[in-house]
Structure 1
Amino acid sequence: MADALPSWAIKGELILNCNCTVFCPCVVSLGKHPPTEGYCQAWVGVRIDEGHHDGEDLSGLNVGLLMDIPGNMGRGNWKAAAFIDDRASEAAYDGLVRIFSGAGRGTTGLFGIMVSEFLGAERQPVTYTTEGRTRHLTVGKKIKGAVTPIGGKDPDQEVVVKNTEYWMGADVTIAQADRGRVRSHGRVWDFEGRSAEICQIDWAGP
Protein backbone atom coordinates (compact mmCIF):
# COMPACT_ATOMS: atom_id res chain seq x y z
CA MET A 1 0.00 0.00 0.00
CA ALA A 2 1.34 3.43 -0.95
CA ASP A 3 0.00 5.00 2.24
CA ALA A 4 1.33 2.32 4.59
CA LEU A 5 3.18 3.74 7.61
CA PRO A 6 6.92 3.01 7.86
CA SER A 7 7.96 0.25 10.23
CA TRP A 8 10.04 1.16 13.24
CA ALA A 9 11.47 -0.41 16.38
CA ILE A 10 13.41 0.76 19.44
CA LYS A 11 15.13 -1.23 22.17
CA GLY A 12 16.91 0.44 25.04
CA GLU A 13 16.27 2.06 28.39
CA LEU A 14 13.98 4.81 29.63
CA ILE A 15 14.17 6.97 32.73
CA LEU A 16 11.45 9.26 34.03
CA ASN A 17 11.29 11.76 36.89
CA CYS A 18 8.00 13.37 37.83
CA ASN A 19 6.61 15.63 40.54
CA CYS A 20 4.96 12.79 42.51
CA THR A 21 6.18 12.70 46.11
CA VAL A 22 6.08 8.87 46.25
CA PHE A 23 6.40 6.27 43.51
CA CYS A 24 4.21 7.17 40.55
CA PRO A 25 0.70 5.69 41.08
CA CYS A 26 0.11 5.74 37.32
CA VAL A 27 2.32 2.66 36.87
CA VAL A 28 0.04 0.24 38.69
CA SER A 29 -3.27 2.07 38.17
CA LEU A 30 -2.55 2.62 34.45
CA GLY A 31 -3.44 6.29 34.78
CA LYS A 32 -6.72 5.77 36.66
CA HIS A 33 -5.32 7.05 39.97
CA PRO A 34 -4.43 10.74 40.07
CA PRO A 35 -0.81 11.79 40.54
CA THR A 36 0.07 12.58 44.16
CA GLU A 37 -0.02 16.33 43.46
CA GLY A 38 -3.19 16.10 41.35
CA TYR A 39 -1.29 16.79 38.14
CA CYS A 40 1.79 15.35 36.45
CA GLN A 41 4.90 17.17 35.32
CA ALA A 42 7.78 15.03 34.12
CA TRP A 43 10.94 14.75 32.10
CA VAL A 44 11.92 11.58 30.28
CA GLY A 45 15.16 10.25 28.85
CA VAL A 46 15.45 7.44 26.29
CA ARG A 47 18.65 5.62 25.36
CA ILE A 48 18.30 3.76 22.07
CA ASP A 49 20.57 0.71 22.02
CA GLU A 50 19.06 -0.72 18.83
CA GLY A 51 16.53 0.89 16.56
CA HIS A 52 15.38 1.80 13.09
CA HIS A 53 12.70 3.82 11.31
CA ASP A 54 11.90 3.10 7.69
CA GLY A 55 15.32 1.51 7.23
CA GLU A 56 17.25 4.36 8.90
CA ASP A 57 19.43 3.26 11.81
CA LEU A 58 18.57 4.88 15.17
CA SER A 59 21.03 2.89 17.29
CA GLY A 60 23.13 4.91 19.71
CA LEU A 61 20.88 7.97 19.72
CA ASN A 62 19.19 9.56 22.74
CA VAL A 63 15.90 11.41 23.16
CA GLY A 64 14.55 13.69 25.88
CA LEU A 65 10.90 14.51 26.53
CA LEU A 66 8.97 17.03 28.56
CA MET A 67 5.46 16.08 29.67
CA ASP A 68 2.85 18.27 31.35
CA ILE A 69 -0.43 16.56 32.25
CA PRO A 70 -3.26 18.41 34.05
CA GLY A 71 -4.75 15.45 35.96
CA ASN A 72 -5.16 11.70 35.65
CA MET A 73 -2.90 10.45 32.86
CA GLY A 74 -5.69 8.29 31.47
CA ARG A 75 -7.88 11.33 30.77
CA GLY A 76 -5.49 12.80 28.24
CA ASN A 77 -5.03 16.50 27.48
CA TRP A 78 -1.25 16.10 27.75
CA LYS A 79 1.25 18.68 26.57
CA ALA A 80 4.58 17.27 25.38
CA ALA A 81 7.81 18.31 23.71
CA ALA A 82 10.63 16.23 22.23
CA PHE A 83 14.37 16.87 22.18
CA ILE A 84 16.17 14.84 19.53
CA ASP A 85 19.85 13.94 19.67
CA ASP A 86 21.73 16.47 17.53
CA ARG A 87 23.85 13.62 16.15
CA ALA A 88 20.82 12.22 14.32
CA SER A 89 20.75 12.30 10.51
CA GLU A 90 17.86 14.15 8.89
CA ALA A 91 16.08 10.85 8.24
CA ALA A 92 16.69 9.67 11.81
CA TYR A 93 15.49 13.00 13.20
CA ASP A 94 12.28 12.86 11.16
CA GLY A 95 11.71 9.25 12.21
CA LEU A 96 12.20 10.00 15.90
CA VAL A 97 9.82 12.95 15.72
CA ARG A 98 7.20 10.66 14.15
CA ILE A 99 7.75 8.03 16.85
CA PHE A 100 7.68 10.40 19.83
CA SER A 101 4.77 12.50 18.56
CA GLY A 102 2.67 9.35 18.16
CA ALA A 103 2.40 9.75 14.38
CA GLY A 104 4.29 6.49 13.86
CA ARG A 105 1.60 4.61 15.81
CA GLY A 106 2.54 1.30 17.41
CA THR A 107 3.73 1.46 21.02
CA THR A 108 3.97 5.25 21.14
CA GLY A 109 0.72 5.75 19.25
CA LEU A 110 -0.66 6.57 22.70
CA PHE A 111 0.94 10.00 22.36
CA GLY A 112 -1.21 10.69 19.33
CA ILE A 113 -4.30 10.01 21.42
CA MET A 114 -3.34 11.55 24.77
CA VAL A 115 -1.31 14.59 23.70
CA SER A 116 -3.63 17.49 22.91
CA GLU A 117 -0.77 19.94 22.36
CA PHE A 118 2.56 18.82 20.94
CA LEU A 119 4.89 21.69 21.84
CA GLY A 120 7.29 20.70 19.10
CA ALA A 121 10.59 18.95 18.56
CA GLU A 122 14.09 20.35 18.34
CA ARG A 123 17.65 19.17 18.06
CA GLN A 124 19.66 19.29 21.26
CA PRO A 125 22.84 17.68 22.57
CA VAL A 126 21.26 14.79 24.50
CA THR A 127 23.51 12.62 26.67
CA TYR A 128 22.38 9.54 28.60
CA THR A 129 25.07 7.94 30.73
CA THR A 130 25.23 5.40 33.55
CA GLU A 131 27.59 5.57 36.53
CA GLY A 132 27.13 2.59 38.83
CA ARG A 133 23.36 2.38 39.14
CA THR A 134 22.73 6.07 38.56
CA ARG A 135 21.46 7.21 35.18
CA HIS A 136 22.25 10.75 34.05
CA LEU A 137 20.39 12.73 31.38
CA THR A 138 21.44 16.10 30.01
CA VAL A 139 19.51 17.92 27.30
CA GLY A 140 21.53 21.04 26.49
CA LYS A 141 20.62 23.64 29.10
CA LYS A 142 17.02 22.46 29.21
CA ILE A 143 17.09 19.26 31.29
CA LYS A 144 19.64 18.13 33.83
CA GLY A 145 18.60 14.94 35.57
CA ALA A 146 19.91 11.93 37.46
CA VAL A 147 17.98 9.00 38.92
CA THR A 148 19.10 6.13 41.16
CA PRO A 149 17.18 2.95 42.09
CA ILE A 150 15.98 2.94 45.68
CA GLY A 151 17.49 0.47 48.14
CA GLY A 152 15.93 -2.88 48.96
CA LYS A 153 16.42 -5.65 51.54
CA ASP A 154 18.89 -7.33 49.20
CA PRO A 155 21.34 -4.56 48.27
CA ASP A 156 22.31 -6.42 45.10
CA GLN A 157 18.75 -6.45 43.74
CA GLU A 158 16.73 -3.50 42.46
CA VAL A 159 13.20 -2.93 43.74
CA VAL A 160 11.06 -3.73 40.71
CA VAL A 161 7.32 -3.67 40.02
CA LYS A 162 6.96 -6.66 37.71
CA ASN A 163 4.45 -7.87 35.14
CA THR A 164 2.50 -4.62 34.86
CA GLU A 165 0.46 -3.52 31.87
CA TYR A 166 2.27 -0.18 31.87
CA TRP A 167 2.66 0.84 28.25
CA MET A 168 6.34 1.77 28.57
CA GLY A 169 7.35 -1.68 29.80
CA ALA A 170 6.11 -4.50 32.01
CA ASP A 171 8.88 -4.32 34.64
CA VAL A 172 9.58 -0.95 36.25
CA THR A 173 12.47 -0.24 38.62
CA ILE A 174 11.52 2.15 41.43
CA ALA A 175 13.99 5.03 41.66
CA GLN A 176 14.41 8.50 43.09
CA ALA A 177 15.74 11.63 41.46
CA ASP A 178 19.12 12.91 42.60
CA ARG A 179 18.61 15.81 40.20
CA GLY A 180 15.63 16.88 38.12
CA ARG A 181 15.85 20.38 36.70
CA VAL A 182 13.83 21.50 33.69
CA ARG A 183 14.08 24.94 32.04
CA SER A 184 12.11 24.85 28.79
CA HIS A 185 8.87 25.92 27.10
CA GLY A 186 8.09 28.30 29.94
CA ARG A 187 8.46 25.56 32.54
CA VAL A 188 10.85 25.92 35.46
CA TRP A 189 10.78 22.68 37.46
CA ASP A 190 12.97 21.03 40.07
CA PHE A 191 11.99 17.48 41.07
CA GLU A 192 15.04 16.47 43.09
CA GLY A 193 14.04 13.81 45.64
CA ARG A 194 10.79 13.05 43.82
CA SER A 195 9.53 9.87 42.14
CA ALA A 196 11.54 8.29 39.34
CA GLU A 197 11.51 5.07 37.38
CA ILE A 198 13.75 3.04 35.10
CA CYS A 199 12.37 0.77 32.42
CA GLN A 200 13.78 -1.44 29.69
CA ILE A 201 11.89 -0.69 26.50
CA ASP A 202 11.11 -2.81 23.44
CA TRP A 203 8.80 -0.74 21.25
CA ALA A 204 7.71 -1.10 17.65
CA GLY A 205 5.21 0.12 15.09
CA PRO A 206 3.03 0.64 13.30
Structure 2
Amino acid sequence: MTNDSIKSETEVAPRDPSAVGTIPWAIKGELILNCNCTVFCPCVVSLGKHPPTEGYCQAWAGVRIDEGHYGDADLSGLNVGLVLEIPGLMARGNWKAAAYIDERASDAAYEGLIDVFSGKARGTTGLFKVLVSEFLGAERAPVLFETEGKTRRLIVGKQIHGEVVPVGGADSDQDIVVTNTEYWMGPDITVATATKGRVRAFGRVWDFDGRSAEICQIDWKGPR
Protein backbone atom coordinates (compact mmCIF):
# COMPACT_ATOMS: atom_id res chain seq x y z
CA MET A 1 0.00 0.00 0.00
CA THR A 2 1.35 3.45 -0.91
CA ASN A 3 1.47 6.48 1.35
CA ASP A 4 -1.10 8.20 -0.88
CA SER A 5 -3.56 5.34 -0.49
CA ILE A 6 -3.20 5.51 3.28
CA LYS A 7 -3.89 9.24 3.27
CA SER A 8 -6.90 8.77 1.01
CA GLU A 9 -8.73 6.95 3.80
CA THR A 10 -10.01 10.37 4.94
CA GLU A 11 -13.20 9.55 3.06
CA VAL A 12 -14.12 7.12 5.86
CA ALA A 13 -16.99 8.53 7.90
CA PRO A 14 -16.06 10.01 11.31
CA ARG A 15 -16.47 7.60 14.18
CA ASP A 16 -19.47 7.79 16.46
CA PRO A 17 -18.07 8.29 20.00
CA SER A 18 -20.90 6.19 21.42
CA ALA A 19 -19.77 3.26 19.24
CA VAL A 20 -16.25 3.09 20.72
CA GLY A 21 -15.80 -0.35 22.27
CA THR A 22 -18.13 -2.00 19.76
CA ILE A 23 -16.16 -1.38 16.53
CA PRO A 24 -14.45 -4.48 15.04
CA TRP A 25 -10.70 -4.04 14.72
CA ALA A 26 -7.62 -6.16 14.03
CA ILE A 27 -3.85 -5.68 13.85
CA LYS A 28 -1.18 -8.09 12.62
CA GLY A 29 2.50 -7.21 12.61
CA GLU A 30 5.42 -6.96 14.99
CA LEU A 31 6.08 -5.26 18.31
CA ILE A 32 9.45 -4.38 19.81
CA LEU A 33 9.94 -3.16 23.37
CA ASN A 34 12.88 -1.97 25.46
CA CYS A 35 12.59 -1.40 29.20
CA ASN A 36 14.87 -0.54 32.11
CA CYS A 37 15.12 -4.15 33.37
CA THR A 38 18.76 -5.22 33.56
CA VAL A 39 17.96 -8.76 32.40
CA PHE A 40 15.07 -10.25 30.44
CA CYS A 41 11.80 -8.79 31.67
CA PRO A 42 10.27 -11.04 34.40
CA CYS A 43 6.75 -9.86 33.48
CA VAL A 44 6.71 -12.15 30.42
CA VAL A 45 6.50 -15.33 32.47
CA SER A 46 5.19 -13.98 35.80
CA LEU A 47 2.39 -12.06 34.03
CA GLY A 48 3.02 -9.04 36.21
CA LYS A 49 3.19 -10.90 39.52
CA HIS A 50 6.97 -10.42 39.80
CA PRO A 51 8.31 -6.86 40.00
CA PRO A 52 10.60 -5.44 37.32
CA THR A 53 14.29 -5.88 38.13
CA GLU A 54 14.55 -2.20 39.14
CA GLY A 55 11.29 -2.25 41.12
CA TYR A 56 9.53 -0.08 38.53
CA CYS A 57 9.18 -0.15 34.76
CA GLN A 58 10.00 2.48 32.18
CA ALA A 59 9.74 1.44 28.55
CA TRP A 60 9.35 2.43 24.94
CA ALA A 61 7.75 0.25 22.30
CA GLY A 62 7.20 0.24 18.58
CA VAL A 63 4.46 -1.45 16.57
CA ARG A 64 4.66 -2.19 12.86
CA ILE A 65 1.22 -2.89 11.41
CA ASP A 66 1.46 -5.18 8.39
CA GLU A 67 -2.30 -5.72 8.14
CA GLY A 68 -5.01 -4.01 10.11
CA HIS A 69 -8.27 -2.14 10.24
CA TYR A 70 -10.43 -0.25 12.69
CA GLY A 71 -13.95 -0.49 11.41
CA ASP A 72 -13.67 0.66 7.80
CA ALA A 73 -10.39 2.53 8.35
CA ASP A 74 -7.32 0.78 6.92
CA LEU A 75 -4.37 0.59 9.34
CA SER A 76 -2.06 -1.47 7.08
CA GLY A 77 1.43 -0.04 6.66
CA LEU A 78 1.25 2.28 9.66
CA ASN A 79 3.59 2.42 12.66
CA VAL A 80 3.04 3.41 16.29
CA GLY A 81 5.47 4.42 19.03
CA LEU A 82 4.63 4.09 22.73
CA VAL A 83 6.04 5.35 26.02
CA LEU A 84 5.08 3.40 29.16
CA GLU A 85 5.74 4.01 32.85
CA ILE A 86 4.68 1.54 35.55
CA PRO A 87 5.40 2.31 39.24
CA GLY A 88 5.69 -1.28 40.51
CA LEU A 89 4.01 -4.59 39.87
CA MET A 90 2.50 -4.49 36.39
CA ALA A 91 -0.73 -6.13 37.55
CA ARG A 92 -1.40 -3.39 40.13
CA GLY A 93 -1.96 -0.74 37.48
CA ASN A 94 -1.34 3.00 37.86
CA TRP A 95 0.42 2.99 34.49
CA LYS A 96 1.17 6.14 32.52
CA ALA A 97 1.20 5.87 28.74
CA ALA A 98 1.59 7.99 25.63
CA ALA A 99 1.33 7.21 21.93
CA TYR A 100 2.93 8.53 18.77
CA ILE A 101 0.75 7.79 15.75
CA ASP A 102 2.17 7.58 12.24
CA GLU A 103 1.72 10.96 10.55
CA ARG A 104 0.56 9.11 7.40
CA ALA A 105 -2.59 7.88 9.18
CA SER A 106 -5.95 9.14 7.99
CA ASP A 107 -8.11 10.92 10.56
CA ALA A 108 -10.20 7.78 11.02
CA ALA A 109 -7.11 5.58 11.41
CA TYR A 110 -5.55 8.06 13.85
CA GLU A 111 -8.63 8.10 16.08
CA GLY A 112 -8.95 4.32 15.82
CA LEU A 113 -5.35 3.74 16.90
CA ILE A 114 -5.83 6.02 19.89
CA ASP A 115 -8.84 3.92 20.87
CA VAL A 116 -6.80 0.71 20.47
CA PHE A 117 -3.79 1.86 22.47
CA SER A 118 -5.79 3.56 25.21
CA GLY A 119 -7.82 0.36 25.70
CA LYS A 120 -11.12 1.99 24.73
CA ALA A 121 -11.47 -0.32 21.71
CA ARG A 122 -11.47 -3.34 24.07
CA GLY A 123 -10.22 -6.71 22.86
CA THR A 124 -6.52 -7.58 23.14
CA THR A 125 -5.47 -4.15 24.38
CA GLY A 126 -8.54 -3.63 26.53
CA LEU A 127 -6.46 -4.15 29.69
CA PHE A 128 -4.92 -0.72 29.06
CA LYS A 129 -8.23 0.87 30.03
CA VAL A 130 -7.96 -0.85 33.42
CA LEU A 131 -4.22 -0.55 34.03
CA VAL A 132 -3.46 2.92 32.61
CA SER A 133 -4.50 5.57 35.12
CA GLU A 134 -3.04 8.46 33.14
CA PHE A 135 -2.94 8.63 29.36
CA LEU A 136 -0.37 11.36 28.75
CA GLY A 137 -1.60 11.95 25.24
CA ALA A 138 -1.21 11.08 21.59
CA GLU A 139 0.58 12.96 18.85
CA ARG A 140 1.02 12.58 15.13
CA ALA A 141 4.69 12.07 14.31
CA PRO A 142 7.02 10.53 11.73
CA VAL A 143 7.27 6.97 13.09
CA LEU A 144 9.91 4.85 11.37
CA PHE A 145 10.10 1.08 12.03
CA GLU A 146 13.00 -0.56 10.19
CA THR A 147 14.25 -4.14 9.99
CA GLU A 148 17.83 -4.79 8.91
CA GLY A 149 18.80 -8.44 9.23
CA LYS A 150 17.86 -9.31 12.81
CA THR A 151 18.05 -5.68 13.96
CA ARG A 152 14.84 -3.77 14.56
CA ARG A 153 14.92 0.00 14.75
CA LEU A 154 12.32 2.55 15.88
CA ILE A 155 12.76 6.27 15.32
CA VAL A 156 10.09 8.76 16.35
CA GLY A 157 11.39 12.23 15.54
CA LYS A 158 13.68 13.34 18.36
CA GLN A 159 11.52 11.61 20.97
CA ILE A 160 12.47 7.93 20.62
CA HIS A 161 15.60 6.41 19.10
CA GLY A 162 15.60 2.68 19.72
CA GLU A 163 17.34 -0.36 18.31
CA VAL A 164 17.01 -3.96 19.51
CA VAL A 165 18.64 -7.25 18.52
CA PRO A 166 17.95 -10.84 19.59
CA VAL A 167 20.24 -12.22 22.30
CA GLY A 168 22.63 -14.73 20.78
CA GLY A 169 22.25 -18.43 21.52
CA ALA A 170 24.39 -21.54 21.06
CA ASP A 171 23.09 -21.78 17.50
CA SER A 172 23.55 -18.35 15.94
CA ASP A 173 20.88 -19.11 13.34
CA GLN A 174 18.20 -19.68 16.00
CA ASP A 175 16.83 -16.92 18.22
CA ILE A 176 16.17 -17.55 21.92
CA VAL A 177 12.37 -17.59 22.17
CA VAL A 178 10.12 -17.99 25.20
CA THR A 179 7.19 -19.92 23.75
CA ASN A 180 3.65 -20.81 24.75
CA THR A 181 3.29 -17.96 27.26
CA GLU A 182 0.07 -16.28 28.35
CA TYR A 183 1.67 -12.86 27.89
CA TRP A 184 -0.86 -10.36 26.61
CA MET A 185 1.26 -9.29 23.61
CA GLY A 186 1.56 -12.77 22.18
CA PRO A 187 2.52 -16.34 23.14
CA ASP A 188 6.06 -16.34 21.68
CA ILE A 189 8.55 -13.70 22.82
CA THR A 190 12.04 -13.38 21.34
CA VAL A 191 14.62 -12.51 24.01
CA ALA A 192 16.47 -9.38 22.92
CA THR A 193 18.63 -6.53 24.12
CA ALA A 194 18.77 -2.87 23.20
CA THR A 195 21.80 -1.53 21.36
CA LYS A 196 20.14 1.87 21.63
CA GLY A 197 17.25 2.92 23.85
CA ARG A 198 16.83 6.68 24.11
CA VAL A 199 13.63 8.49 25.08
CA ARG A 200 13.20 12.27 25.24
CA ALA A 201 9.45 12.63 25.54
CA PHE A 202 6.76 13.96 27.87
CA GLY A 203 9.42 15.18 30.31
CA ARG A 204 11.11 11.74 30.41
CA VAL A 205 14.84 11.42 29.74
CA TRP A 206 15.73 7.72 29.55
CA ASP A 207 18.72 5.81 28.22
CA PHE A 208 18.33 2.03 28.23
CA ASP A 209 21.23 0.91 26.03
CA GLY A 210 22.13 -2.68 26.90
CA ARG A 211 18.90 -3.28 28.83
CA SER A 212 16.14 -5.85 28.33
CA ALA A 213 14.19 -5.96 25.08
CA GLU A 214 11.52 -8.10 23.45
CA ILE A 215 10.39 -8.90 19.92
CA CYS A 216 6.92 -10.29 19.36
CA GLN A 217 4.75 -11.15 16.38
CA ILE A 218 1.31 -9.74 17.16
CA ASP A 219 -2.17 -10.80 16.12
CA TRP A 220 -4.57 -8.58 18.04
CA LYS A 221 -8.27 -7.96 17.62
CA GLY A 222 -11.38 -6.63 19.28
CA PRO A 223 -13.74 -5.73 20.68
CA ARG A 224 -13.88 -9.28 22.13
TM-score using structure 2 length: 0.90
State the percentage of identical aligned residues.
73
SS at match of 1:118: strand
The residue type equivalent to 1:142 in the other structure is Q
Q: Which of residues 137, 143, 159 is equivalent to 2:160?
A: 143
Where does residue 99 of structure 1 map in the other structure? 116
Measure the CA separation in 2 of the matches of 1:193 and 1:3: 39
2:143 to 126, 134, 158: 126
Gaps of 5+ in 2: 1-17
Q: Is the 8 A contact 2:21 2:121 kept in 1?
A: no
Partners of 2:164 and 2:94 in 1: CA distance: 27
Q: Does 1:22 align with 2:32?
A: no
- How far apart, in 1, do the equivalents of 2:60 and 2:139 lie? 15
1:5-28 Cα deviation digits (max 9, x unpaired): 110000000000000000000000
Instruction: Give the root-mean-square deviation of aligned CA atoms.
Output: 1.2
Counterpart residue identity of residue 157, structure 1: Q
Which residue in 2 is equivalent to 1:78? 95
Could you list the runs of 4 or more consecutive aligned residues of structure 1 that deviate by over 4 angstroms after TM superposition?
A: 1-4
Alignment pair present for 1:194 and 2:211? yes
- Deviation digits for residues 142-168 of structure 1 (CA, Å, limit 9, x no counterpart): 000000001001111000000000000
Matched, 1:152 2:161: no
Q: 2:67 aligns with which of 30, 50, 73?
A: 50
User: CA 1:186–1:91 in 2, change beyond 3 Å: closer, same or farther?
Assistant: same
After the TM superposition, which residues 3-42 of structure 1 pair with which residues of structure 2 at under 5 Å, given as runs? Answer: 5-42=22-59
Structure 1 unmatched runs, 5+: none
Amino acid at match of 1:130: T
Partners of 2:77 and 2:93 lie apart in 1 by 31
How many Å separate the matches in 1 of 2:134 and 2:72?
A: 29
